[in-house]
A and B are shown apart, each in its own frame.
Chain A
């Protein structure tokens, strides 16, 4: 079965500094990969996805992620963090040839310090 690991519970970064949220995945086949963000008392919002093609994917709000097949990683990045980026970030994976189920990581709390 597919799974996701988000190794850090919380990521602290100063406003204006680069932000990275780490994600590694496990699937038996080829993956579809997603990043979602969750603000307090709100549902998850889609940020970006990797389906095929270019390993660098650009998404909403200036976020991007790089698919690395050899390291089975899909880290989320933003060149310059904003205070408003403080939220809970979830990585998710779907196995293309599997049960069509989306498996989420436990999430990373990002705190951007003014």
Chain B
């Protein structure tokens, strides 16, 4: 079974530039998550999708962050413009819909903003 795929793995940009991350979840997983993991911390949820609907985006900084999940499969997370404090690892995860199911994580995108 293929796992969660993310690209790119690494991204270095200058502040004020835009950046986008892509995620392809495990086939059949209706729920998709984007997390941000700062150095020395656990992941923090940015947004959760059930199929194509964003059902929990309360922790997404909507002034600069946006996300979409067209057709309820792949997803893209965008930052525009990036700030120095956005440097982190961005993790995508997917799961079956019921809340007691474990989440499967991709390898993440390590973003460095200079």
Are B99 and A49 in contact, with the CB atoms below 8 A?
no
Are A44 and B91 in contact, with the CB atoms below 8 A?
yes
Please give the distance in Å from A34's CB to the nearest CB on chain B. Answer: 6
Are A106 and B40 in contact, with the CB atoms below 8 A?
yes
Question: A32 near B: Cβ within 8 Å?
Answer: yes
Please give the distance in Å from A90's CB to the nearest CB on chain B. Answer: 5
Q: How large is the interface on B (under 10, 10 to 19, 20 to 34, 35 or more residues)?
A: 20 to 34
Q: What CA separation (Å) do A96 and B61 show in the bound complex?
A: 26
Question: B82 near A: Cβ within 8 Å?
Answer: no
B91: nearest residue on chain A (CB-CB)?
A43
B38: nearest residue on chain A (CB-CB)?
A106
Residue of B93, B105, B106, B107 contacting most chain A CB atoms (<10 Å): B105
Interface residues of A in 83-106 (CB under 8 A from B): 90, 92, 94, 96, 99-102, 104-106
Interface, chain A (partner B; CB < 8 A): 4, 32, 34, 36, 41-46, 49, 51, 90, 92, 94, 96, 99-102, 104-107
Interface, chain B (partner A; CB < 8 A): 4, 40-45, 48, 56, 91, 93, 99-100, 102-108
